[in-house]
Structure 1
Amino acid sequence: MPPSPPQWPISFGYALLRATLYVLFIAGIAQGGYFEALYFPNVRYSELGFTEFTQTLVLASCCILLIYIRQVLRVWPTVTLLLLAFVAASLVREQDFFLDHYVARHTWKILVTLIVVPALVWVIVQRRRFLEEFKYYSNTFAFGLFAAGTLVTYIFSRLYGRQDFWRAVLQENYIRDFKNIAEESIELLGYSLILFAMIELLLLARRIAQAR
């Protein structure tokens, strides 16, 4: 049975510090989007722009954190494996333009399948262990942030970025750039929440490892 999370409270000052850093990060990516639009009009909100690059960097950072949690700290291996597969698949999906252009069309779909299917099979085989680990994980702040980031990225951004919606808003002034900017910016926000979730999971995993 995996160990339960330590129950000692987090100090207000420590929580405030983390919240401040998260606020600064969100402000930084918002400002980066502004500079992208202002100074790099030729690549703004394209695959070579700040927003897309930052999405890749954020997802890659999430993968590194999860690998460290799973392989070094050895906390909740089935839960972190599923999270890693999810984030890694998202990272590959964000590279679809380059994979389609420089490798072959639909390459990203093959890579995502190779990542997700084995992970799902392993979690199903280890389902009892997964459910035991998830019982603890689901009651953490990290899980709440991850759920929020997933909803923002994969639900809200898709619905908010619908072409029909922006055609209804802008009517005869419709330009595809508006739709792309809105969708990609919200995606980056969602990915940032997922990064915060991985940071919180790392901090919690360190406490669990120390408690052993």
Structure 2
Amino acid sequence: MSLPPPNWSINFKTSLMRAILYVLFIGAIAQGSYLEALYMPELRFSEYGFTELAQTTVLASACLMLIYVRQVLKVWPTVTLLLFAFIAASLVREQDYFLDEYVARHTWKILVALIVVPSITWVIIQRRRFLDEFRYFSNTFSFGLFASGVLTTYIFSRLYGRSVFWEAVLGESFERTIKDAAEEVIELLGYSLIMFATLELLLMARRIYLARKAGKPLN
């Protein structure tokens, strides 16, 4: 049976510092997208623009943090494997243009399958352990942030970025760039929430790891 997270409260100063850093990060990516639109007219919101490259960086960072949690800290291995598979698949999907252009069409689909299928198979095999770990993970701030990121990226951005919606809003003034900007920037926000979730998970996992190392009780 996996161990629950330590029942240690996080003081107000620490929470405030994290909140400020998250606000600054979101402000930075919003400003980056604005500067992209302002100074990169040929590349804005394309695969070579700031927003798309920032999405890749954010997703790659989240993947690296999950690898660290699973392989080094060894906390909640089945939950972190499933989270890693989900985020890594998203990272590969974001590279579909480059894979189709420089490797072969539909390469990204094969890579996603190679990531997702073995991961889900292993989680199913270890389903009792997964459910035990998820019981604790689902009650964390990390899970709340992750769920918010998923809803923002995979539900809201898709609906908000529909061409029919922007055609209805702009009428004859409709330009695809506006639709792309709205969808891509919201996607970046959602991916950032997912990255914040993995960071919160890493910080909590480190506390569990240090408690185990010191032989302290976790409850």
User: In 1, Cα distance between the equivalents of 2:120 and 2:7?
Assistant: 31
Identity rate of aligned residues, in percent?
Answer: 71
Give the TM-score normalised by structure 1.
0.99
Task: State the distance in 1 between where 2:184 and 2:174 align.
Answer: 17
1:95 alignment partner AA: Q
In the alignment, what sits opposite 1:125?
125
- Which residue in 2 is equivalent to 1:39? 39
Amino acid at match of 1:147: A
In the alignment, which residue of structure 2 is the partner of 1:193?
193
Q: Distance in 1 between matches of 2:125 and 2:2?
A: 17
Structure-2 separation of matches of 1:42 and 1:177: 11
> What root-mean-square deviation, in Å, do the aligned CA atoms of Structure 1 and Structure 2 show?
0.5
How many correspondences in the alignment? 212
Structure 1 unaligned segments of length 5 or more: list them.
Answer: none
| Counterpart check, 1:169 vs 2:172 | no
* Mapped partners of 1:8, 1:95: distance in 2: 40
Return the TM-score normalized by structure 2.
0.96
Match of 1:182, as an amino acid? A
Structure 2 distance, partners of 1:100, 1:125, is 33
Aligned partners of 1:9, 1:84: CA distance in 2, in Å? 27
Distance 1:203 1:194 in 2: 14
Shift of 1:42: 1.1
The equivalent of 2:8 in structure 1 is: 8
Whole-angstrom distance in 2 between the partners of 1:184 and 1:117: 27
2:197 matches 1:204: no
Runs of 5+ unmatched residues, structure 2 = 213-219
Deviating runs (4+, > 6 A) in structure 1?
A: none
1:94 correspondence with 2:89: no
Helix, strand or coil at the partner of 1:208 = helix
Q: Structure 1 residue 105 and structure 2 residue 109: aligned?
A: no
* Equivalences for residues 146-161 of structure 1 within 5 A: 146-161=146-161
